[in-house]
Amino acid sequence: MGKIALAGRDIGAPALKGATVVAGKQMTLTAGGADIWGTSDEFHYACIAMGGNFSLSAKIETMEMADLYTKAGIMLRAGPEADAPHLMIFAFGDNRARNKNNGGIEFQSRMARGADCTGVYPPQPLTETAEFPVAFPNVWLRLQRRDDVYEAFVSKDGEMWRRFCQHKMIFAGTPLLGLAVTSHNAAKAVIVAFSQVDYIPLE
């Protein structure tokens, strides 16, 4: 396992500027932004240009909410443009019912520049008990790439991992890899604390 030097930047034009702060083993992202969805995004991104195969995992320690759809997670993005293609495994701030979801974990992608995003949800129809709930600080996410195939995993302890989904997508050039947070409330920023951010290059 290893560390990567992630640098914070705002994507899109959020009304409230974001920030990335590293203190010891914790990385805290402050983020505004209307959303990461639709055809264009507003959020804060702590990222690095990273090609090749990899596994990136992170623990979400705490997560503020400014909206039901405040989200935070691990993203791979084609570039810094607001409408860039991307994929992302992420957590919401709680387990309230959302579109096609009764837990706190989802996956999404934008397959082409300026295209609409699509989501991957827990198996349908939903079970009475959430398949992928969140209970902070016990929320770990992992994104793994092997060529054009991506796998997203979730864990409650950082040891036992459960696959959320598999996704195939082609990224041209060297994409940006890192941690993404959006408030989903243009008038209110949120703070999300990550730790145990571990990067592993894969063959």
Right CATH number for 7-202 from 2.60.120.200, 2.30.30.140, 3.10.580.10, 3.40.50.300?
2.60.120.200
Residues 6+ apart with CB under 8 A from 45: 8, 9, 10, 11, 75, 77, 80, 176, 178, 179, 180
Residues 6+ apart with CB under 8 A from 2: 198, 199, 200
Reading the chain (203 residues) residue by residue, the pLDDT tens digits are 468 899 999 999 999 999 999 998 999 999 999 999 999 999 999 999 999 999 999 999 999 999 999 999 999 999 999 999 999 999 999 999 999 999 999 999 999 999 999 999 999 999 999 999 999 999 999 999 999 999 999 999 999 999 999 999 999 899 999 999 999 999 999 999 999 999 999 98
Evaluate the CA torsion angle 132, 29, 32, 37 in order and state its sign. negative
Is this model's pTM higher than 0.75 or not?
A: yes
Tokens of 174: 């060297």
Q: Where are the domains of the chain?
A: 7-202
